[in-house]
Amino acid sequence: MTAAVVTGVASALPATFDQEAVWEGFFARHYEGVRAARRIFAGAGVRRRHAVASPMDEDLSQWGTGARMERYVQEALPLGKQAVAGALDAAGLAPGDVGLFAVATCTGYATPGLDIRLAGDLGMPPGLQRLLVGHMGCYAAIPGLAAVSDFVTARSRPAVLLCCELTSLHVQPAQRDLEQVVAHALFSDAAAAVVLEPGARRGRRLAGIVARTDTSTADHMTWDVTDLGFRMGLSPRVPDVLSRHVGGVVEELLTEAGLRTEDVAGWAVHPGGPRILDVVRDELGLTEDQLAASRRVLAEHGNCSSATVLLVLEEMAEVAGPVVVMAFGPGLTLYAALLLPA
């Protein structure tokens, strides 16, 4: 069968703010009296983040969900357009060449959605097929890749996947809840897009995908729709669950391709937080150098939900050889993909 090959990756980022500045300028007051809050912000592994709505400039914590959704569409359209246009340019394709346009997001919804609005704005064909990957969370880029890869292989047409997440629109009212403190210390905004083409001789072909969901721990990571935006639930036990499954997922992924851990040239691991990366490093026997791109993305961009692992992949553009892409999210779910040189 014709292989689906990643030939273009690009991202778009809103305004950058400093982690220390946003603590001093907003969250120190927001979490006044919560003793651990300052320590959590300092230990998040984040130096800078991005926001379409910086809490230092405007406090959205009392906004209703409807107002936040209107703002999502307003802010997401230019970011999504920039990311998709950049990925198409990197692939050397025009919008009219695209057969399928998929959008992954868990931070905003509207109908017509980003897929329809951006397809028309960019000049994609009227016969375009579209797909929305909604509310899956931080790992959504990989099932999104799986879906567009299947289309590219079956239809021999190019496809685009856009991950667009605006977590800054979901700042929550002040509560003495450490899970909320952790979420507000980590999460950030970004859009990232990838282009896949059939049988291209450049880029990285998608060679395999493995998924694992531990439904017994479904309550460990949640993303609930409330009257005041979407609210994160994030148990401190998440890294322990990942430690039980990450080794088996990677072994299955590599074994199917006839590879071993030492054959992997690059590890694009979703930096859900410092402890997540520590667990992946320890369970797989990796070095800190092998996780440097993920640590760097966490430090410079924060956790941008589904877009984050694509930011790591973009960071690794010059890495030659097999690349493993991994992400984790609600379920509790692990997804891993193998990319090989085309």
Residues labelled as active-site residues: 138
Which amino acid would we find at residue 141?
A: A
- Give the separation between CA 275 and CA 45, rounded to whole angstroms: 10
Pairing of strands 100-105, 189-198: unpaired
Q: Which residues make Cβ contacts (< 8 Å) with residue 22, sequence separation at least 6?
A: 49, 54, 55, 56
- Give the separation between CA 170 and CA 304, rounded to whole angstroms: 13
Residue 286: what are its φ and ψ, rounded to 5°? -90, 165
User: Can you tell me whether residue 271 is helix, strand or coil?
Assistant: coil
Strand partners for 232:
223
Q: How far is CA 16 from CA 13, 22, 50, 189, in A?
A: 8, 11, 4, 9
Q: Which residues make Cβ contacts (< 8 Å) with residue 197, sequence separation at least 6?
A: 4, 5, 7, 91, 93, 152, 158, 203
Element holding 141 (H helix, E strand): helix 141-155
